[in-house]
């Protein structure tokens, strides 16, 4: 490690795997093997599915770098030119899915053939006639080693739609295929000739069992995805082609398809159930993100960095009373890209902006606000194709509590529905209250309360159920929305502080003495606060965060009462404190009832009714006068 503070060298890597490889961090100990990687390496799964930023490309890059485990690796990442060619590919007599499966099968056959023409001599020391036939076929059809993917797709498309040059396999310029009843049937027959030639060459070379297979991977399909029917057929065709080719080439070729979860989940086709055993979804937990952070921190600093030192010396021990790593990872969507961005932002805030040699709590809080704004914008962009209206739903949650009920959300949505339907008429069928809840849950924006837990998409495969009524905005987005409290409650304002400001002094009037009436009123105030707190604690159907928020406000009142009893308050009328508290209780009760939270005895309704009862009691104690309530 170079000289200077450890924090100056601390870096958690790049957000994209391609640059991470270039910078060296990914391959220098910054990659964390997970279940998806192990399954891909062992050949147990063919479909690696995950959200954007979940590490699909990192697995792909690591597998490419794992020399010696495979006979070779081929990575197919369609650009717009190739994607457009595949989307437009059609064959008379075949449905779209089947036609696009043929062009993918052709690409796989060509890649395998190109691999065999060099691998046979390099690894096995000989080139059987079947391999020489493949070399002639590639040359005759313009499939040179330096051809771009888009050009190869174009060559294959023209050949399948008209006639491939199959002289190398003993066919005369398509003459032997002229009797095919349709364009699709002729294309299929031509392709089978090529595939059988590739399979024969693998058998003649003796690759099966002699060494690792050729690893053929397809990644970054989202770059050419549009959610249109031809894009759906492009991906379904890919799945069908990989399934067919994996069976045809047996253990000589292994296929790995890296698909974004939103794309894969949008597919609906007859043979979809045949791929369940091939699927593996990337899942990250707080612990695995901690492990990843430590691995990358060590890789960047070159030091024997311990978890203790990372989270207790370089980072502050706690943030807002919460253990720092827990604070950070709870405010990320569970994927490496988010964690990397947040951690790097903390380091940059401390080292680059403030010139510190350790990260402070203030640095983390500053970074958290910036990160939340990034992620809210990124979420709308991530789902721009599937849900172009997503960012227009965020105002429904701005500047309010992050716990929202179905009823309250319904009221807000009803006010915005006409505008949303006008802006997005093609999506009016999805822009209903149940549809919006399902979408916001599916993208990870909202979690649903189940029992004592709040569950987000990925934690539980069960979708939102019609009877579920309480939802929570993910901590990642709360700061950007101004939704940092569980429920929208008026903050308690200390009447004692107000009196000190009015008097122009922050000192205490130590000459103030209590009368017996003051003592009695203070006792009644304490009694009311404890009564409300007790009812809040019993409100088991109320979200824990909501109970905590109510308790925080009531404890603020109780703190003022304790100062009264201790004689450390400035001179003011204790009756004002009592009547102000009564007014504040009424305000909170109204806000709780308006929140739409469970209004039963064990929920917000029970707490609100207890507050209203205590407000009435306090006014009776004061003699029935409403007095001044400006300070509450």
Tens digit of each residue's pLDDT (9 = 90 or more) over 142-165: 887 666 777 778 888 888 888 888
Residues 63 and 193 in one domain: yes
Examine residue 169 and state whether it is found in any structural domain, yes or no: yes
Query: Is residue 534 exposed (0-12), middle (13-18) or buried (19+ Cβ within 10 Å)?
Result: exposed
Distance, in Å, from the CA atom of 149 to the CA atom of 83, rounded to the nearest integer, reads: 10
Same domain, 553 and 468: no
5 pLDDT exceeds 80?
yes
Residue 53 lies in a domain: yes
Q: CA 292, CA 304: separation in Å to the nearest integer? A: 15
CB-based contacts of 303, cutoff 8 Å, min separation 6:
1, 6
292 with 407, same domain: the answer is no
Residues 459 and 505 in one domain: no
The verdict on residue 315 lying in a domain is yes
Residues 6+ apart with CB under 8 A from 147: 155
Separation of alpha carbons 316 and 362, rounded Å: 9
Kindly provide the b/e burial profile for residues 175-200, where b requires at least 16 CB atoms within 10 angstroms of the residue's own CB.
eebeeeeebbbbbbebbebbbebbbb
3 has pLDDT over 70: no
Tell whether 223 is covered by a domain. yes
- Does residue 14 belong to any structural domain of this protein? no
Domain boundary among 253, 281, 309: 281
Domain membership flag for residue 420: yes
Residue 442 within a domain: yes
Question: Number of folded domains in the chain?
Answer: 4
Say if residue 440 is in the same domain as residue 511. no
The average pLDDT across 603-608 equals 88
- Distance, CA of 347 to CA of 357 (rounded, Å): 9
- Computed from CA positions of residues 264, 280, 328, 309, in that sequence, does the dihedral angle turn out positive or negative? negative
Does 32 fall in a domain?
no
Residue 202 banded pLDDT, cuts 50, 70, 90: very high
Query: What 3-state class would DSSP assign to 243?
Result: helix
What are 480's two structure tokens?
Answer: 């950007």
Show which of 255, 281, 307 is a domain's final residue: 281
Chain center to CA of 190: 43
Q: Which of 422, 401, 340 is nearest to 546 (CA)?
A: 401
Domain span at 451: 390-481
Residue 236's pLDDT is what? 93
Q: Cα separation of 147 and 151, whole Å?
A: 6
- Decide if pLDDT at 626 tops 50: no
Is 22 a residue whose pLDDT tops 70? no
Angle at alpha carbon of residue 279, lines to 81 and 286, rounded to 5°: 100
DSSP 403: E
Residues 182 and 272 in one domain: yes
The set of residues, in sequence order, having a beta carbon less than 8 Å from that of 99 and lying 6+ positions away, is 89, 90, 91, 184, 187, 233, 237
In this structure, are strands 47-50 and 279-281 parallel, antiparallel, or unpaired?
parallel
pLDDT of the residue at 98: 92
Task: Check if the beta carbon of residue 563 is closer than 8 Å to that of residue 569.
Answer: yes
440 with 474, same domain: the answer is yes
Cα–Cα distance measured from residue 498 to residue 504, given in angstroms and rounded to the nearest whole number:
10
- Are 71 and 97 part of one and the same domain? yes
What is the enclosing helix (H) or strand (E) of 216? strand 214-218
Least confident of 67-71, 478-482, 526-530, 532-536: 67-71
Look up residue 145 and give its two tokens: 């080693």
Write down the pLDDT at residue 368: 97
Beta-bridge partners for 260 = 50
């Amino acid at each position: 490690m170079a000289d200077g503070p450890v924090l100056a060298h601390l870096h958690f890597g790049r957000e994209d795997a391609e640059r991470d490889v270039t910078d060296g961090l990914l391959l220098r100990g910054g990659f964390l093997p997970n279940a998806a990687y192990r399954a891909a390496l062992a050949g147990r799964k063919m479909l690696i599915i995950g959200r954007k930023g979940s590490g699909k490309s990192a697995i792909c890059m690591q597998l490419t770098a794992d020399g010696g485990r495979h006979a070779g690796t081929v990575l197919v990442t369609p650009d717009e030119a190739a994607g457009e060619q595949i989307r437009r590919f059609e064959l008379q007599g075949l449905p779209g899915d089947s036609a696009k499966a043929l062009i993918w099968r052709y690409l796989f056959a060509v890649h395998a053939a190109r691999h065999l023409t060099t691998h046979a001599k390099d690894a096995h020391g000989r080139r059987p006639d079947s391999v020489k036939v493949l070399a002639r076929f590639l040359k005759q059809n313009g499939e040179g080693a330096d051809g771009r993917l888009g050009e190869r797709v174009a060559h294959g498309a023209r050949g399948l739609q008209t006639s491939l040059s199959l002289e190398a396999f003993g066919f005369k310029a398509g003459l032997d295929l002229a009797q095919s009843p349709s364009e699709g049937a002729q294309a299929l027959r031509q392709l089978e000739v090529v595939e059988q030639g590739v399979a024969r060459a693998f058998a003649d070379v003796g690759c099966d069992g002699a060494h690792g297979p050729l690893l053929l991977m397809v990644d970054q399909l989202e770059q050419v995805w549009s959610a249109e029917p031809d894009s759906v057929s492009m991906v379904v065709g890919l799945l069908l082609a990989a399934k067919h080719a994996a069976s045809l080439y047996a253990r000589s070729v292994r296929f790995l398809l890296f698909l974004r979860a939103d794309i894969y989940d949008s597919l609906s086709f007859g043979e979809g159930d045949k791929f369940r055993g091939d699927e593996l979804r990337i899942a990250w937990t707080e612990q695995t993100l901690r492990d990843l952070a430590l691995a990358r921190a060590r890789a960047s600093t070159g030091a024997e960095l311990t978890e203790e030192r990372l989270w207790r010396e370089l980072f502050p021990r706690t943030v807002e009373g919460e253990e720092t790593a827990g604070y950070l990872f709870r405010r990320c969507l569970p994927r490496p890209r988010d964690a990397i961005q947040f951690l790097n932002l903390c380091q940059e805030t401390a080292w680059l902006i403030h010139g510190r040699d350790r990260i402070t709590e203030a640095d983390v809080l500053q970074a958290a606000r910036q990160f939340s704004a990034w992620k809210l914008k990124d979420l709308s962009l991530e789902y721009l194709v599937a849900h172009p209206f997503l960012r227009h739903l965020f105002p429904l949650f701005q500047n309010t509590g992050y716990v929202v009920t179905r009823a309250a959300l319904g009221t807000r949505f009803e006010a915005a529905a006409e505008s949303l339907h006008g802006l997005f008429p093609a999506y009016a069928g999805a822009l209903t209250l149940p549809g919006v809840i399902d979408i916001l849950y599916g993208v990870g924006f909202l979690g649903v309360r189940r029992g004592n837990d709040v569950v987000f998409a990925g934690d539980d495969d069960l979708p939102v159920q019609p009877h579920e009524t309480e939802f929570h905005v993910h901590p990642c987005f709360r700061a950007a929305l101004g939704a940092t409290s569980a429920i929208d409650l008026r903050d308690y304002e200390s009447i004692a502080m107000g009196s000190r400001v009015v008097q122009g002094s922050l000192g205490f009037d130590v000459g103030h003495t209590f009368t017996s009436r003051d003592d009695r009123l203070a006792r009644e105030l304490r009694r009311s606060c404890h009564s409300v707190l007790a009812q809040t604690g019993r409100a088991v159907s109320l979200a824990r965060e909501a109970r905590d928020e109510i308790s925080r406000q009531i404890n603020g009142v109780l703190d003022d009462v304790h100062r009264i009893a201790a004689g450390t308050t400035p001179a003011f009328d204790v009756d004002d404190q009592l009547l102000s508290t009564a007014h504040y209780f009424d305000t909170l009760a109204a806000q709780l009832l308006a929140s739409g939270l469970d209004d039963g005895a064990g929920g917000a309704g029970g707490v609100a009714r207890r507050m209203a009862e205590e407000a009435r009691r306090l006014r009776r104690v004061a003699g029935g006068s409403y007095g001044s309530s400006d300070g509450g």
